[in-house]
Amino acid sequence: MSCVVRLIRIVVPSILLLVSITNPLSGKTRVVPDAPVDRDYVNALAAADRFLHAWQTDDEESGILMLTDKLKQRSNEETVREFFSADPLRASYEIGRGRKLSSGHYEFPVTLFQSPSQNGPRWMHPQSSALIVVKAGKTDWAIDRLPSFPLARLSQIPQSN
């Protein structure tokens, strides 16, 4: 019993000392509020979400309708169709905080999460890229640059500059 009491007398003060030393080191982090957004930002973000949802659900028609004419002209039709075709590895996406490039032009970081195949590795790395959304008319928004993918079959999709 005295052995347990001695152990407690040594361990408890040691833990308290350790906590008191490391606590001031952590300090308080100051939360910086995000910059305010305008109506165009919200509309561009909604367009990016609709486009990626079309990609996720293999809704080729809706997705292609959202592409700018400029992107459609630069792109191989078959490659764009493959972009929207069924892919058993497709799972989900994440859109990060966007930034205004110029009036009516926004860039959103995009991360694509894929489900590992049954016979493949258990873990896969997310694919990070960006999506450019531009104002195309008074209230319409369109995709001017598709996210880039490391997959060989999608590497032919041209990226705008």
Q: Give the span between the Cα atoms of 80 and 124, in whole angstroms.
A: 24
How high is the pLDDT of residue 65?
94
Give the domain ranges of the chain.
39-154
Least reliable range by pLDDT among 22-31, 37-46, 108-117: 22-31
Does the pLDDT value for residue 13 go beyond 80? no
Closest CA to 156 of 82, 87, 92, 84: 82
66-103 b/e with 16+ CB inside 10 Å = b?
bbbeebeeebeeeebebbbeebeebeebeeeebeeeee
Does the pLDDT value for residue 161 go beyond 60? no
Confidence of residue 152 (pLDDT cuts 50, 70, 90): very low
Does the pLDDT value for residue 140 go beyond 70? yes
Fold of 39-154: Nuclear Transport Factor 2; Chain: A, (3.10.450)
Q: Against a cut of 0.75, is the pTM above it?
A: no
Helix (H, G, I), strand (E, B) or coil at 97: coil
Q: Give the span between the Cα atoms of 110 and 113, in whole angstroms.
A: 10
Calculate the alpha carbon distances from 134 to 14, 67, 73, 100, 114 in Å.
Answer: 60, 10, 16, 10, 27
